[in-house]
Chains A and B, each alone.
Chain A
């Protein structure tokens, strides 16, 4: 409290106000259209996902996770650059497509923590009303929110890959081959980000309470991955590879890795990647179903939101 007039319910500090009071000034400047408004909502959402423009406390978790994501990549690059000749390395130590699977816990925690911050928050505080009372259409709002979350997740998944790529180039790995693999890795990262963000946004939009939303997203992502990789391990050991391949459809991580194996011949990171072309196609279709399904689900959910 800087002055007594700050006390709640007190009248406004008249004396200070009068001196500087220029009266009400109407706004005669430009008004932007739907595109720039949507862009500004997108950028704000993206910044908020990393805690920028929010309280200091909300920066801690996303920045910590980003740091933890980059740390292994940094160590791998260090080893690659320093000891390439010593160890006789001709390849990335961990493939681009494998990296998101090894760090899936961090990615899941990030999505689970930030999706509710972006999606549930507007519903819980009913700030959604303020958005709906502005020119932007409902569907645009939903798509922009989802885009912010997807890009934020993509940044988290792709930045260590970029670090590894730069390190690989510095370590004189074959440039063309490395660039191709890196671009494949980026497509995989984009697909993974879209799947994770779509699922997490849908779950967050259905659960208004933040704690519940965080838990629900964690359960959906971590439990599905644990169950799927367990089934795949058992399937491989008992010789029922097809069972493992089908199981791989049910976790975004194994699914996207399978798509990368199928489309880009990336090294497999799961025990039972899709081995046949039809199964590969099923993987790609499943990926699209997750992304488009969650967009459709979100749009349907927001149609029922009353202003």
Chain B
């Protein structure tokens, strides 16, 4: 049984279609939900929580229908909203204890769990201060802590890295990774920054305009595309000189970003040809690497919005 299963899930608002016949299956581990703003990520999460009613189609979380068993699902799921939701005059500690109680934990257990999860998310002494004075990073941690306090089987994290500086972002992503692997809690994490999800996700679902663009294991997103990236130095126009030589040698070569050359691999001798030509031209070979297909490329090929569902 999958953690999340949707079939033909559609949500239309009076002027916009947020989700369009979405069929998605999410399993254990960390699943990244990628899409530009307005792609339908938050709408999907709210439907999964049973807070927004789908126009048509079905969605199940741990086998429970979102339309009829919202309460059961919400007791199994933790939710970290995208927007600010922390009262300014309450401490993180008090809020997380209270939210644990709201999920049905008895007071002593809620206190113990709150203390545990606040430690895991990395809120130290500041947990006893009112949250109005928190930095964005601390607020995101407090929001994450309240989503974890009742030991859910699944957490829905809506843009957890929003507004964080690079260091805090790395911390948050590491934490997301730990929740999925070490804590054994399934994670659905959304982001519009595609690059950061490939680092922490086992599986990536790409939404575009409410439709499923692609859903596959992260490793498949990173498969080799059959080309090499070559970087040379020695002359100001070294890349052009080598590119010309490669084309004359019968290979397909084109300029790539950062003054590099992308060479399509014809057979296993291609790297040798590149090496020999570089030496023959008296250039220095700085880099010769397989080009990986990054998640961004799913969008770049043909531009976001124009790509047909796979």
Interface-facing stretch out of B44-52, B227-235, B282-290:
B44-52
Given contacts A126-B85, A133-B51, contact A9 B167 (CB under 8 A): yes
Docked complex: B48-106 residues within 8 A CB-CB of A: 49, 51-52, 71-72, 74-75, 77, 79, 81, 83-90, 94, 98-99, 101-106
- Please determine whether A126 and B125 come into contact, CB atoms closer than 8 angstroms: no
B105/A126 in contact, CB under 8 A: no
Q: Tell me the nearest residue of chain B to A121, going by C-beta.
A: B87
Q: A137 touching B85 by the CB < 8 A rule?
A: no
Q: Which residues of the other chain, A, contact B237 by a CB distance below 8 angstroms?
A: none
**B130 CB, nearest partner CB in chain A, Å:** 7
Q: How far is the CA of A41 from the CA of B102 in the complex (A)?
A: 7
User: What residues on A are CB-neighbors of B120 within 8 Å?
Assistant: 24
Q: Provide the residues of chain A in CB contact with B51, threshold 8 Å.
A: 132-133, 307
CB of B28 closer than 8 Å to a CB of A: no
CB proximity of B186 to chain A, nearest CB, Å: 13
Which of B107, B130, B165 interacts with A55 by CB under 8 Å? B130
Chain B residues with Cβ below 8 Å from A36 are 104
- Is A17 an interface residue, CB under 8 A from the partner? yes
Interface string of A126-153 (1 = CB under 8 A from B): 1101111111110000000000000000
Chain A 25-70 interface residues, beta-carbon cutoff 8 Å to B: 25-27, 29-33, 36-37, 40-41, 44, 53-55, 58
**A13 lies within 8 A of chain B by Cβ:** yes
Contact A53 B94 (CB under 8 A): yes
> Chain A residues near B105 (CB, 8 Å)?
27, 29, 31-32
Does A32 lie within 8 Å of B104, measured CB to CB? yes
Asked whether A27 and B84 contact (CB < 8 A) given A17-B119, A37-B104, A131-B102, the answer is no
Q: How far is the CA of A96 from the CA of B304 in the complex (A)?
A: 72
Within 8 A of A (CB), among B163-211: 164-165, 167-168, 171, 178, 182-184
Known A-B contacts A24-B120, A125-B85; A9 and B182 likewise in contact (beta carbons under 8 Å) = no
> Could you tell me how many residues of chain A have their Cβ less than 8 Å away from some Cβ of chain B?
48
- Name the distance in Å between A28's Cβ and chain B's nearest Cβ: 8
Chain B contacts for A133, CB-based, 8 A:
49, 51, 74, 77, 79, 81
A58 touches B89 (CB 8 A): yes
Tell me, rounded to whole Å, the shortest Cβ–Cβ distance linking A58 to chain B: 7
The answer to whether B109 has its CB under 8 Å from any CB of chain A is yes
B271: min CB distance to chain A, Å: 40
Assembled-state Cα–Cα distance A133/B48 (Å): 10
> Which of A11, A24, A33, A55: most chain B CB closer than 10 A?
A24
| Chain A residues near B178 (CB-CB < 8 A) | 24
Given known contacts A24-B183, A126-B84, A8 and B101 CB-to-CB distance under 8 angstroms: no
C-alpha gap A11/B164 in the complex (Å): 12
A125 contacts B171, CB within 8 Å?
Answer: no
Residues of B within 8 A of A85 (CB): none
Instruction: Give Cα A225 to B186, complex, Å.
Output: 57
Nearest CB to that of B126 among chain A residues? A6
Q: Is B138 an interface residue (CB 8 A)?
A: yes
B41 close to A (CB within 8 Å): no
B39 CB to nearest chain A CB (Å): 18
Whether the Cβ atoms of A9 and B74 lie closer than 8 Å is no
Q: Given the complex of chains A and B, what is the CA–CA distance between A270 and B170 in angstroms?
A: 68
- CB B117 to nearest CB in A, in angstroms, measures 9
Contacting residue for B125 out of A2, A31, A136, CB 8 A: A2
**Known A-B contacts A9-B135, A134-B99; A27 and B150 likewise in contact (beta carbons under 8 Å):** yes
Interface: A278 (CB within 8 A): no
- Provide the residues of chain A in CB contact with B182, threshold 8 Å: 23-24
Residues on A with beta carbons closer than 8 Å to the beta carbon of B32: none
Residue of A nearest to B116 (CB): A25
Report which of A9, A23, A25, A134 forms a contact with B137, defined as CB distance below 8 A. A9
- Indicate whether B122 reaches chain A with its CB closer than 8 angstroms: yes
Residues on B with beta carbons closer than 8 Å to the beta carbon of A2: 124-125
Chain B hits for A13, CB < 8 A: 122, 124
Rounded to whole angstroms, the CA-CA distance of A70 and B87 in the bound complex is: 32
By a CB distance below 8 angstroms, the chain B residues around A25 are 116
Minimal beta-carbon separation of B277 from chain A (angstroms): 46
* Chain A positions near chain B (C-beta within 8 angstroms): 2-3, 5-6, 8-13, 16-17, 20-21, 23-27, 29-33, 36-37, 40-41, 44, 53-55, 58, 121-122, 125-127, 129-137, 307
